[in-house]
Chain A
Amino acid sequence: MTHLHDLTIKKFHEGLLKKEFSAFDITKEFFDYIESKDKEIGAYLNLAKDQALKQAELADIAVAKNEPVSPLAGVPMAIKDNILIEGLPATAASKILENYTAAYDAAVIAKLKSAGAVFLGKTNLDEFAMGSSTENSAFKKTRNPRDLERVPGGSSGGSAAAVAANMAVASLGSDTGGSIRQPASFCGVVGLKPTYGAVSRHGLMAMASSLDQIGPFTKTVEDAAILFRAIAGQDRHDATSAAPPAGKYGEELLSPKLEDIQKMTVGVPSEYFIEGLSPEVSRAVDDAMNALKSLKIQFKPISLPHTKYALSCYYIIMPAEVSANLARFDGIRYSEIGGRKKAKNLLDLYKKTRSQGFGAEVKRRIILGTFVLSSGYYDAYYSKAQKVRRLIKQDFDSAFKEVDVILTPVAPTPPFKFGEKIDDPLAMYLSDIFTIPVNLAGLPAISIPARKEGLPVGFQLIGKPWRESDILGIGQYYEKIFNF
């Protein structure tokens, strides 16, 4: 009997084809397990049992008829609740969308549906993906499966925890400044943030449109490659999406060659190994480097001189885009919340619903964004930040002339405790200092567990644009030696 805890996408697919189990039975088992386990973890905001079981049956029918099925057919997955699945709630963990039902499928969902994937439910997040601990959810707390007193990271904390607690085989999250990689590091799973534009954002609730990307959480790097390949591709509904220069992603994602990996040089930027880095993280990242050195991969010290400006740059550009994107939540569309009936006029209606519907962090960012865009301050803040963004991008461009991949920590610390940072926004923002530059430069990056014992710690591999194959390739060889 296959145990849910052992299932990866790869193993599920093999078992399904060998008829060791049916997708229907496994899906049912997942729901039984979630029912008990999620009381403790709180990863899911809502479950989609009927839809999931129907979808699983379709996969079983295809297998029974010996039809060709995709590697994702029947695979039980969890989806972050800011990604739309037609007919299911999509709240973004915000009161302002408490009663909203999605009117259509996000592009990634449409792709996964045609690949036969099964969606178990929608997962918890920091409200509108704003936060680094999932504590900003309007609805519930998500606990770190590896230590229940600690946060799962954020903003995609529910998606990371669902996979880490074996309540899904894989999941999708979104990453604007680290929201896939940081929770992956905190929960001890793999998280990939693709190149900006590699995956369509159509049907993802926009937070900061020039930074947002959807990506997978999985138990193995190989699974991340399988899932990424399934969701990647240009989409006419998202004008910023594009195909990789080679036309499309191919087998190189799934079957990297050791001799190609050994030809690579990995850069280690001194700016990421700073005083605030916890000794535990430092040690774990060193161990990961040593493991890669044993594969005969070359390492080289590099410099990314504008790194220290990335946090300020990000906290100007991101809120600016947030303040524009969240203007659509006007109290008229999407979802009804209290206060609407009592409004005196339109302005009053806007103010009442938005003030009651948004939580503190969302309001803080909307106001900050309104400030940096307001007349008189635009040049000093927004325009300045856009120039700094260029310099950060140029740092990476020059580094990538000398190296193929860059290795860094994911977060400065292992997972922290509940309440530790929630009242101090700046301290919370600092937990993303190593992930933010990647979004500003639009690069692909992956978080991979660096150790099995103790609190989880991940290391980050950053690749050249459209070269997910490099970071996934090194990662796949790393997991072969590390055997997680």
Chain B
Amino acid sequence: MAEINKKSLEHLADLARLELHEKESDKFLKDLSEILGHFKELETLNTDGVQPMTGGTELRNILREDEILDDRLGPDNVVDSFPEKEGRHLKVPPVF
């Protein structure tokens, strides 16, 4: 098991697309070490040969036709719920 230090925390924040200010990162470092410390109890538990439970359901292959099921989510609703728009066009900041 591992520890998180200031540098690895910065890397994780970067991967998660977050910026942490100084005070926040000090607090997180303390909190996360405590939480990871708690996880250490799992090391004592033998899980050899246990099949991982990978979801909340044992259902398998729930397939359906790739079709529009209803018009609940019409294009107008989607455009309306977008933060900025001009007419029917979605507007985003010039970052691309």
Tell me the A residues contacting B by CB distance below 8 Å: 86, 99-105, 110, 196-197, 209-211, 236-237, 239-240, 242, 306, 308-309, 311-313, 315-316, 323, 327, 330, 332-336, 340-341, 343-352, 354-355, 358, 360, 363-364, 366-368, 370-371, 374, 376-377, 380-381, 383-391, 393, 425-426, 429, 439-440, 442
Contact = CB atoms under 8 A, between A and B. Distances in A.
B38 A312 contact: yes
B87 interface: no
Nearest to A337: B83
29 contacts: A104-B73, A104-B77, A210-B55, A236-B64, A309-B41, A309-B45, A311-B38, A316-B39, A336-B84, A343-B95, A345-B95, A346-B95, A351-B17, A354-B16, A367-B13, A370-B15, A376-B2, A377-B2, A381-B39, A385-B42, A386-B53, A387-B51, A389-B53, A390-B51, A390-B52, A391-B45, A391-B47, A393-B53, A426-B31
A236 B63 CA distance: 10
Given A335-B83, A360-B27, 5 more contacts: A351-B19, A364-B31, A387-B52, A387-B53, A442-B57
A309 B42 contact: yes
A368 B80 contact: no
A209 B55 CA distance: 8
Given A364-B28, A380-B1, A355 B19 contact: yes
B24 A363 contact: yes
A104 B74 CA distance: 9
Contacts of A377: 2
Nearest to A372: B39
Contacts of B55: 210, 240
B51 A355 contact: no
B22 to A, nearest CB: 13
A374 B15 contact: yes
Nearest to A376: B2
Contacts of B52: 383, 386-387, 389-390
B91 to A, nearest CB: 10
A366 B52 CA distance: 22
Contacts of B27: 360
B95 A313 contact: no
A426 B41 CA distance: 14
Nearest to A394: B50
- Judged by DSSP, the binding face of A is helix
A390 B52 CA distance: 6
A393 B55 CA distance: 12
B42 A388 contact: yes
Nearest to A235: B69
A242 B56 CA distance: 12
A101 B27 CA distance: 34
Contacts, number: 161
A86 B77 contact: yes
Given A315-B35, A366-B18, A377-B2, A386 B59 contact: no
A351 B18 contact: yes
Contact of A425 (B16, B35, B57): B35
A354 B17 contact: yes
A103 B12 contact: no
Contacts of B53: 386-387, 389-390, 393, 440
B26 interface: no
A364 B50 contact: no
A349 B94 CA distance: 10
Contacts of A101: 80-81
Given A103-B78, A196-B57, A197-B56, A313 B42 contact: yes
B7 to A, nearest CB: 13
Across the A-B interface, give the 10 residue pairs with the lowest CB-CB distance, nearest first: A386-B52, A210-B56, A336-B83, A387-B47, A103-B77, A103-B81, A387-B50, A390-B53, A350-B17, A389-B53
A308 B34 CA distance: 17
A91 B86 CA distance: 24
Contact of A442 (B41, B56, B69): B56
Interface string B39-75: 1011001010011111111010010100001001100
Given A197-B57, A367-B16, A105 B95 contact: no
Contacts of B28: 363-364, 367
A429 B31 CA distance: 12
A29 to B, nearest CB: 32
A240 B57 contact: yes
A334 B50 contact: no
B61 to A, nearest CB: 10
A367 to B, nearest CB: 5
A2 B74 CA distance: 42
B31 A425 contact: yes
A349 B64 contact: no
Contacts of A343: 93, 95
A426 B39 CA distance: 11
Contact of B20 (A102, A312, A363): A363
Contacts of B12: 367, 370-371, 374
Contact of B96 (A100, A197, A346, A389): A346
A330 B95 CA distance: 13
